[in-house]
Structure 1
Amino acid sequence: MSLQATTKANKVDRLAELTAQSETSAGVSLWREAYRRLKRSKMAIIGLVIIALFVLVAVVGPWVAPHSPSAQLWRGEVFPNKGLFVGPRAGNWFGLDNLGRDEFSRVIVGARQTLLVGVISMLIGLVIGAAVGALSGAAATLGGKVGQRVDTVIMRFTDIMLALPSLLLAVSIAAVMGQSLTTVMVAVGVVQIPTFARLLRGSMLAQGGSDYVLAAKALGVRKRRIALTQIMPNSLSPVIVQATLSLATAIIEAAALSYLGLGNPDPSVPEWGVMLAQAQRFFDNAPMMSVYPAVGIIITALGFTLLGEAMREALDPKLRG
């Protein structure tokens, strides 16, 4: 065999070897790599465990609660005017509230209302904010001078909303709409809109100069299709992370509105923020009535915060490798 043939054969063998290596070690997608890192993150595992327990309690709470959360079964044993309350005992693990209702049952059932308010509030902010951010980002990236003007107008309105304190804005919206659970959801959701809009718009601007966008333009792909099928899907990572963090914020802000008396007007329906507001009058004589819902809010918010921070680290390109 000649030297040329041997060299050619070696090159073919080397090419086959490299091909086999590339097939066995195929490139890992962003989300798959993030998932691998999340599985190794203690912070993510702790956050997921807390969230899983919270969701489980919220789903099965009404069926596993030992007593009706609205039934005043022990009304004759409680005398709030005299500062006499029943603490934890065998039949009532968390004691009784000021109306003789089982506090443990109310905390368990109240988890569902708290989860419902947090999730719907976050979804309102996410959907509307993402739509506004996508419109602004697409206009700024692919819309030319007209698009930049549209982007400027949208962002100035967003800046006005961001300039207002979030809780003050939520209280103002809730005061205008009236006292109800729906009011709390809408008020907290509206407060979240500018955050999602700004985040998605900034991510789309960062993706606008990427090579795949330039290649799509060179191939004559329509701008609308580039924005919807290329730029926006690659810009959603920080938005998803923010959605997880916003759940914690939504739960806290919803509890704050309920605490201020802007939540559900029906006191018989348990919700952690409402329970906290009802318990403040009796804090001196029965402090645990405030502690139980407050601890639930804190631990739940902590779970979503831990998971969100872990996702942020897992999706950070500076930390991958």
Structure 2
Amino acid sequence: MSKADKIDRLAQLTAQRTTSSGDSLWVAAFRRLRSSKMAIIGAVIIAVFVVLAIIGPWIAPYSPTAQTWRGEVFSNRGIFVGPRAENWLGLDNLGRDQLSRLLVGARQTLLVGVVATVIGFVVGALIGGLSGAALALGGRTGQRIDTVIMRFIDMMLALPSLLLAVSIAAVMGQSLTTVMIAVGVVQIPIFARLLRGSMLAQANADYVLAARSLGVRRRRIVLAHVLPNSLGPVIVQCTLVLATAIIEAAALSFLGLGNLDAAQPEWGVMLAQAQRFFDAAPMLAVYPALGIIITALGFTLLGEAMREALDPKLRS
């Protein structure tokens, strides 16, 4: 199943208002989530990550920029300091406490992922909402607007996401803001296509037909009823997009397009800086890599569990 097919399938589920047992689709989905080990594990990982990102700078034992033990590390000779009583995860190549940098870097990693997802969600929702509303309102003009927008969105979906993000980041220059924007732009077509498909699925729902039979204006139906009821699967998609955003942001930082400000350590940048010393001190790369992998795994597990809870075909 292609990326576009998965998005369209999730959008189609919004037309289903109740399950065979008579429960609301969302109530039944939440009941399945509570008994899903995958969802519980993902939620626990996300909760731990968010808590560490929030309180990390306050519980970090040392400043992430303090080169207190610089005289004990000789990276040019391959001499590093590993875990010990004062430094639980050892020191980096500049004599900085690795644990402190990981804790502070968790906030930067979360910030990049959240901001990039918000950018993709807001812009994608505007584009998808415009396309869906134009098509739902009917008429040749609306169909033309939808056709133009969707062909542009399909072209963006056809491009490899990382390649598109690297191209945008290379044009804008090296900074943390660049990484957020580049990763956010990559997510725009996902949200746009999903919201547009969800609105089309809702346009054929019974409550829409009832509103039309009562003489409610089509514009009011679309904006006041169809659009709000179409946002559910888009919110579900945010969990999956967050995992992708964290990985792609780390990839951009690894390629040297992230923020190199030592006062704001970020896991992707830490991973990039550690590659030069991988032979002598592999744990400098392993720690941030594990953080990225486990965090992305948490969002992916929860997102996939939510999608499966909504889709009976996936559960079977």
**TM-score, with normalisation over the residues of structure 2?**
0.90
Of stretches 233-242 and 194-203 in structure 1, the one that deviates more from structure 2 is: 233-242
Matched, 1:125 2:120: yes
Structure with bigger gyration radius: 1
Kindly provide the CA deviation profile for residues 196-232 of structure 1, in whole angstroms up to 9, marking residues without a partner as x.
1111111211222222222212222122221122222
Q: Secondary structure at the match of 1:232?
A: helix
Runs of 4+ in 1 over 4 A off after TM superposition: 317-320
Calculate percent identity across the aligned residue pairs: 77
Distance 2:215 2:103 in 1: 57
Q: What does residue 276 of structure 2 align with?
A: 281
Q: Secondary structure at the match of 2:130?
A: helix
Distance 1:142 1:214 in 2: 14
Kindly provide the CA deviation profile for residues 122-162 of structure 1, in whole angstroms up to 9, marking residues without a partner as x.
01001110111111111112232110100001011111211
Q: What does residue 109 of structure 1 align with?
A: 104
User: Does the 8 Å contact 1:59/1:112 carry over to 2?
Assistant: yes
> Deviation at 1:319?
7.3
Matched, 1:312 2:291: no
Q: What does residue 291 of structure 2 align with?
A: 296
Q: What code does the residue aligned with 2:230 have?
A: S
Q: What does residue 165 of structure 1 align with?
A: 160
Distance 1:289 1:64 in 2: 20
Distance 2:141 2:205 in 1: 22
Matched, 1:218 2:213: yes
> Deviation at 1:63?
0.7
**TM-score, with normalisation over the residues of structure 1?**
0.89
User: Does the 8 Å contact 1:237/1:315 carry over to 2?
Assistant: no
Distance 2:129 2:123 in 1: 10
User: Does the 8 Å contact 1:267/1:274 carry over to 2?
Assistant: no
Distance 1:159 1:35 in 2: 32
Kindly provide the CA deviation profile for residues 63-90 of structure 1, in whole angstroms up to 9, marking residues without a partner as x.
1111111100000000000010001111
Matched, 1:34 2:29: yes
Q: What does residue 22 of structure 1 align with?
A: none
Q: What does residue 47 of structure 1 align with?
A: 42
Kindly provide the CA deviation profile for residues 24-56 of structure 1, in whole angstroms up to 9, marking residues without a partner as x.
xx9643332222221111111100100000001
Q: What does residue 195 of structure 1 align with?
A: 190
Match of 2:169 among 155, 171, 174: 174
Q: What code does the residue aligned with 1:180 have?
A: S
Distance 1:313 1:162 in 2: 23
User: Does the 8 Å contact 1:283/1:289 carry over to 2?
Assistant: yes
Q: Secondary structure at the match of 1:86?
A: coil
Q: Secondary structure at the match of 2:216?
A: coil
Q: What does residue 65 of structure 1 align with?
A: 60
> Deviation at 1:176?
1.3
Match of 2:138 among 138, 143, 151: 143
Gaps of 5+ in 2: 1-20
Distance 2:261 2:282 in 1: 23
Q: How does 1:78-93 map to 2 (within 5 A)?
A: 78-93=73-88
Q: What does residue 250 of structure 2 align with?
A: 255
Q: What does residue 183 of structure 1 align with?
A: 178
Q: What code does the residue aligned with 1:30 have?
A: L
Q: Which has the higher contact order (CA 8 A, sep 6+)?
A: 2
- When the two chains are superposed, the root-mean-square deviation of aligned CA atoms in Å is 1.7
Gaps of 5+ in 1: 1-25
Distance 1:296 1:180 in 2: 21
Q: How does 1:229-248 map to 2 (within 5 A)?
A: 229-248=224-243
Of stretches 118-127 and 307-316 in structure 1, the one that deviates more from structure 2 is: 307-316
Matched, 1:96 2:91: yes
